[in-house]
Amino acid sequence: MNNLIKKFFYGDYGEIEEGASTSQDDQWPLWEIFIRSKQGLDHKHVGSLHAADAKMAIENARDVYTRRQEGISIWVVESKNITASNPDEAGELFEPAQDKIYRHPTFYHLPEKVNHM
Residue 109: inside a domain: no
Maximum Cα–Cα distance for the chain, whole Å?
83
Task: Determine, yes or no, domain membership for 76.
Answer: yes
pLDDT for the residue 2: 53
pLDDT tens, 61-116?
999 999 888 889 999 999 999 998 888 888 888 776 666 766 666 777 778 887 66
Domain annotation covers residue 71: yes
Question: What CATH number should be reported for the domain holding residue 54?
Answer: 3.10.20.520
Domain count within the chain: 1
What pLDDT does 46 receive?
Answer: 94
Taking the CA atoms of 98, 99, 104 and 106 in sequence, report the sign of the dihedral they define.
Answer: positive
Structural domain includes residue 3: no
42 domain-assigned: yes
For the question of whether the overall pTM of this predicted structure is more than 0.85, the answer is no
> Could you tell me the residue range of the domain that residue 46 belongs to?
26-81
Per-residue pLDDT of 17-68, as tens digits, reads: 555 455 555 789 999 999 999 888 899 999 999 999 999 999 999 999 998 8
